[in-house]
A = this chain, B = another copy of it.
Amino acid sequence: MATVIDREYTAGHALGPSVRAFGKATSRLETGTAGIAGQVLNFARDSQIYVECDEVRSFYKVVSGVVRTCKFLSDGRRQIEGFHAACDIFGLELGDVHRLSAEAVSDCTVVAYRWRGLRRMTAQGDQIAPQIFGFAMQCLERTQQHALLLGRRSAAQRVAAFLLMTARRDGDQTGAYLAMRRQDIADYLGLTIETVSRTLSQFERDGLIALSSTRHVILHDLDALMVLND
């Protein structure tokens, strides 16, 4: 386990789809000579993409599968900072060492874009920055949202928010596929695996959801789940 299954190298996987939202300012990156070529990598479930303190060589975009970025605590516990699915960017750093680890939640494919920290990047031309800035800010917004969840929400609210987030990501508001294990969910929500499990069971008893399998959740009462949040 925990091994890279293979690494394929391509010359022209330029930063694409997830970028459009920023409009004209980024188009140069997609078409111009300054476009960043990516390197396609495949990782097996539970393998490490990079670990804390690794030198920063790239940032990444998910093509398929799900990635978790996380931090390990001295007492053995783990905090998952975020899950990253198709088109999401992760691993962008200001400094030259990673402050988190990144691991494959499922078998997954990512594209690595050369990136060695702000200083060296800007030395070759500033053109890259606006787009990267957008990625950084999106990441910031998600993290702020996450901090709010961890700081001021009950277990039920956290699990509800997680289900809604997952359903939204799937583009399907009535069902969610949980690519990760219960322990991952717990470590993301700052709860224990037992509390996550109990909360899901309670939601099911209350008719808010149905667990058609461990990994597939049907959301029956979106309103009730949303009321639990802001």
Contacts and interface: CB of A to CB of B under 8 A. Distances in A.
A184 interface: no
A1 interface: no
Interface in A88-120: 92-94, 99-100, 118-119
Given A126-B129, A129-B129, A25 B140 contact: no
Given A126-B126, A126-B130, A129-B130, A79 B148 contact: yes
Q: Give the number of copies in the complex.
A: 2
A67 to B, nearest CB: 16
Given A123-B25, A130-B129, A150 B118 contact: no
Interface string A123-141: 1001101101110111111
Interface stretch (A70-78, A160-168, A174-182): A70-78
Contact of A94 (B77, B121, B138, B147): B138
